[in-house]
Amino acid sequence: MLNILRYILLILVFTYSAYSQENNFCGTEIPSQQWENIFSSLINDFKKTHEQNSSQQFTEYTIPVIFHVIHSGQSVGTFPNILQAQISSQVTVLNQDYAGTGFNCNTYPVNAFIQWAINQNLPAVNRDSLGRVKIANINIKFCLAEKDTSGNTLPEPGIERINLNSRGWVNPNTFAVPADLRSYFDGTIKPQSIWDVRKYLNIWISDKNASMPFTGFSTLPPLSTLPGISGAGEGTDSTDGIWSYSSAVGSAFIFPGGVYASPNVRGRTITHEAGHYLGLRHIWADGSCLTDYCADTPPAFTSNTGFPVYPLNPGSCSSPANSPNGEMFMNYMDYSADPAKYMFTYDQAVRMQTAMLNSPYRNQLGTHGLCVAVLGINSEGNSIPEGYLLMQNYPNPFNPVTEISFSMPGTENINLRIYNSLGREIAVLLNSTIEAGYHTVNWNAAKEPSGVYYYVLSTDKISISRKMVLIK
């Protein structure tokens, strides 16, 4: 009997391992040398102009995002047709990661890459006050598109749900080979569902085959739209954007009610893919000790996985030598587990800002009036500490009841109030001490006229506001 129990336990352990060993490899194509040469010359121009500018502030950009949720008839909330809250948590992750305040950035070792910075003679702009390679603020923000390409308000911000059967598409989970999945998206799904790439970052999310090793891929920023110049992997107006496995979307910490596959539980797949979308290369440059064209990222022998410890593999590369500080496994452009990654560098920021300024599609991106709320960033433009996030309501527009949801990192006094478009307070939904975790509150607007309303959540530390629309 004991042996049978042991046997069952073993099976359970192996089954659990099979599910928990999802990797986070990426299928983005390696840029051509021609692309890199053109991009490098644009980067040099950007650096010259930027470093002459006395404030040295990066331009702020806000990119509207549309998630095309590809499913095969599952109801909303059933994988891969994941909930709005899981998708919103991804945008929060993007905003924090691109502001340099992503989850776990406070674990950056106190002596990280100081010797590397000295050996490379890195300028002050690449370093922080301790002399470490700096965790950069890219100054690029992301917002859920509130309107479609015709100007209609979306029932769920940033989301288009598509039943693949209604389009006659093959289920993406039938492709076991990455190249086949990518070519089906590029040749069929993307061209038939893409929104204007000059106004939206298109992100397709779907199921995938269990044997398919990748959880994401992106197009590169094109540097010319002239025929013949466009190379492998560069986005076109019918392919530009990102694909991600649905269960790698969002943060299990911000929205525990979603569907996640370990270790992709912090939304770093799409942070990584958005890095490619904005011109970044892998930290190990898809070879052994090759350059990723960023002087502040040490060379790496190969990609890293799991939860490495600093310093990792010092001496693994000799020209230039990465000893004694080793490899930058905490960079979003490595393959380390989601929680182990928490930084972009200044030189990576320069590449992304250069793409936003010069790439024919990226340089058209801006809010275009398509969205207002920037999740994860408060009204002063500062990052909201992780945990207070994900304040949103569903449905929106609504009549007459909507559910407002939010999460809290700890027990706090909280105040949740509703204001009308004149700024007049019309309801107090909460004014009490609330425990850590995810909460929902309904608002019944049966007595109110149609119009725009705001809900404001405030604590001793923060205040976040959001807009909603009552249509009767």
Q: What is the DSSP letter of 403?
A: E
Report the C-alpha gap between 258 and 247 in whole angstroms. Answer: 8
To Zn ion, the closest distance from the beta carbon of 27 in angstroms equals 8
Binding residues for Zn ion, rule: CB under 5 A, are: 26, 28
Closer to Zn ion by Cβ: residue 93 or 389:
93
Closer to Zn ion by Cβ: residue 26 or 114:
26
Query: What strands lie across the sheet with 437-444, from one edge to the other?
Result: 392-394, 401-408, 437-444
Closer to Zn ion by Cβ: residue 64 or 231:
231
**DSSP characters for 296-362?**
TSPP-SS---S---SSBSTTS-BTTB-TTTB--TTBTTS-S-GGG--B--HHHHHHHHHHHHHSTTG
To Zn ion, the closest distance from the beta carbon of 219 in angstroms equals 12
Whether the Cβ atoms of residue 203 and residue 250 lie closer than 8 Å to each other: no
**DSSP characters for 262-292?**
TTB-BSHHHHHHHHHHTT---TTTTSSS---
To Zn ion, the closest distance from the beta carbon of 237 in angstroms equals 23
Closer to Zn ion by Cβ: residue 27 or 64:
27
> Nearest to Zn ion by Cβ — which residue?
26
Closer to Zn ion by Cβ: residue 28 or 405:
28
To Zn ion, the closest distance from the beta carbon of 39 in angstroms equals 16
How many residues would you count in the chain? 472
Closer to Zn ion by Cβ: residue 216 or 311:
216
To Zn ion, the closest distance from the beta carbon of 28 in angstroms equals 5
Report the C-alpha gap between 340 and 272 in whole angstroms. Answer: 13
Closer to Zn ion by Cβ: residue 26 or 43:
26
Closer to Zn ion by Cβ: residue 26 or 162:
26
Whether the Cβ atoms of residue 301 and residue 229 lie closer than 8 Å to each other: no
Report the C-alpha gap between 218 and 201 in whole angstroms. Answer: 11
Closer to Zn ion by Cβ: residue 96 or 215:
215
To Zn ion, the closest distance from the beta carbon of 384 in angstroms equals 28
Report the C-alpha gap between 434 and 415 in whole angstroms. Answer: 10
To Zn ion, the closest distance from the beta carbon of 275 in angstroms equals 7
To Zn ion, the closest distance from the beta carbon of 361 in angstroms equals 19
The dihedral formed by the CA atoms of 75, 78, 79 and 80, expressed in degrees to the nearest 10: 30
To Zn ion, the closest distance from the beta carbon of 36 in angstroms equals 15
Parallel, antiparallel or unpaired: strands 425-434 and 451-458: unpaired
Which residue reads 């192996």 in tokens? 14
Q: How far is CA 10 from the centre of its chain?
A: 36
Closer to Zn ion by Cβ: residue 26 or 464:
26
Closer to Zn ion by Cβ: residue 36 or 156:
36
To Zn ion, the closest distance from the beta carbon of 194 in angstroms equals 21
* Core vs surface per residue 218-242: b (16+ CB within 10 A) or e: bbbbbbeeeeeebbebbbbeebbbb
Report the C-alpha gap between 411 and 430 in whole angstroms. Answer: 14
To Zn ion, the closest distance from the beta carbon of 290 in angstroms equals 14
Query: Distance of CA 438 to CAs 257, 391, 411, 466, Å?
Result: 9, 10, 12, 17
Q: Is the peptide bond preceding residue 80 cis, with omega within 30 degrees of 0?
A: yes
